[in-house]
């Protein structure tokens, strides 16, 4: 019994000495911030913080400090950020220790969060974005998108995450085929993040079909040649006359090509005897006469 009590005291002390696990699945929908609490023992509390892109300082949301629940209405933070755009994060607390802060994402595109779609292709992923958004109207080319990407399961908003900055749509190339890649997008102003990032969207990168298409084309060509060559040979050998007749050009004789029907005058001409001509009869010719 004393050993069990001692073990429990040591366990509770060790548990209180370690920082709590951070909250998960933090997202905002219609300015209601929700998250999934950790399942570990100790009943941690949670604090929500906000930051505007003009200040860069994280401040506690007054109504969301040391909460035991897993949701908080953060509508009041809209007034704190320029154009109503703020970033939000949540941290867990227990025994004076805090967890790492986890940033929230937005499930719906709005004036502070981009709206996008994904188009996967073999070895690449296109992030479809619009350059006509509210921040672009205010800041022109200084307002851009930052596209975070990585394989499914990788943290996208970490410091080592890969990203691309673009005004509009961007294509991420050299991706591994057959793998799922995920994307988050956030507005930028002079390379500073603005507003909430989108929640993660993932797509499977399809495998290339070039090899299969090449094989199919080769098989089709072989079949066509096998069927075509005997057919051509048959016509050249056995249907030569027929081919010549088909190749002969068609020609119609003009109507006045033949003479008109014979009249009696023509018949009299052809029926009369030819005019006799006069000639001298040579009886013989000698060699001497020919020489003269």
pLDDT at 155: 81
pLDDT at 59: 92
pLDDT in tens, the chain (292 residues): 555 544 454 444 544 568 888 999 999 988 899 999 877 667 889 999 998 876 678 999 999 999 988 999 999 888 887 777 889 999 999 888 999 999 999 988 778 888 899 999 999 999 998 888 777 777 777 788 899 999 998 888 766 678 999 888 999 999 999 999 999 999 888 878 888 899 999 999 998 865 556 667 878 888 877 887 877 777 667 667 776 677 666 666 666 655 555 455 554 555 555 555 555 555 555 555 555 5
pLDDT at 156: 81
pLDDT at 4: 56
Residue 145 contacts residue 135 (beta carbons within 8 Å):
no
pLDDT at 188: 86
Side by side, the strands of the sheet bearing 24-29 are 71-73, 32-36, 24-29, 105-106, 197-198
Cα–Cα distance between 226 and 108 in angstroms, integer? 59
CATH of domain 18-106: 2.60.40.10
Q: Which helix (H) or strand (E) holds 225?
A: helix 210-238
Query: CATH assignment of 117-204, given 3.40.50.300, 1.10.10.10, 1.10.357.10, 2.60.40.10?
Result: 2.60.40.10
pLDDT at 9: 45
pLDDT at 5: 46
Same fold, 18-106 and 117-204: yes
Query: With DSSP H G I counted as helix, E B as strand and the rest as coil, what are the percentages for the chain, rounded to 5?
Result: 30, 30, 40
- Calculate the alpha carbon distances from 136 to 84, 142, 183, 188 in Å: 15, 8, 21, 10
Q: What is the DSSP letter of 115?
A: -
> What are the domain boundaries of the chain?
18-106, 117-204
CA 46 to chain centroid, in Å, comes to: 41
Q: Which residues does residue 189 pair with via DSSP β-bridges, in sequence order?
A: 143, 192
Whole-prediction pTM: 0.61
pLDDT at 7: 46
Cα–Cα distance between 215 and 42 in angstroms, integer? 62
């Amino acid at each position: 019994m004393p050993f069990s009590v001692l073990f429990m005291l040591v366990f509770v002390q060790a548990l209180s000495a370690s920082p709590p696990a951070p909250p998960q699945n933090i997202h905002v929908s219609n300015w209601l911030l929700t998250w999934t609490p950790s399942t570990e023992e100790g009943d941690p509390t949670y604090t929500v913080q906000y930051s505007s892109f003009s200040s860069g300082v994280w401040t506690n949301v007054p109504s969301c400090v040391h909460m035991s629940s897993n949701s908080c209405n953060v509508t009041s933070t809209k007034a704190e950020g320029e154009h109503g755009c703020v970033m939000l994060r949540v941290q867990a607390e227990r025994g004076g220790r805090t967890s790492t802060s986890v940033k929230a994402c937005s499930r719906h595109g709005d004036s502070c969060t981009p709206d996008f779609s994904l188009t996967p292709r073999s070895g690449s992923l296109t992030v479809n974005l619009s350059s006509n958004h509210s921040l672009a109207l205010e800041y022109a080319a200084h307002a851009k998108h930052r596209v975070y990407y990585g394989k499914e399961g990788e943290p996208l908003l970490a410091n080592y995450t890969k990203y691309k900055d673009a005004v509009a749509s961007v294509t991420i190339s050299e991706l591994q085929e057959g793998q799922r890649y995920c994307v988050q997008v956030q507005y930028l102003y002079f390379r500073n993040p603005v507003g909430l990032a989108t929640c993660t969207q993932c797509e499977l990168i399809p495998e290339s079909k070039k090899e299969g298409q090449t094989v199919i084309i080769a098989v089709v060509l072989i079949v066509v040649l096998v069927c075509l060559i005997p057919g051509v040979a048959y016509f050249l050998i056995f249907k030569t006359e027929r081919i010549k007749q088909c190749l002969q050009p068609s020609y119609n004789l003009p109507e006045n090509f033949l003479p008109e029907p014979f009249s009696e005058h023509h018949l009299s001409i052809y029926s009369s005897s030819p005019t006799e001509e006069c000639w001298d009869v040579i009886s013989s010719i000698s060699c001497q006469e020919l020489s003269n």
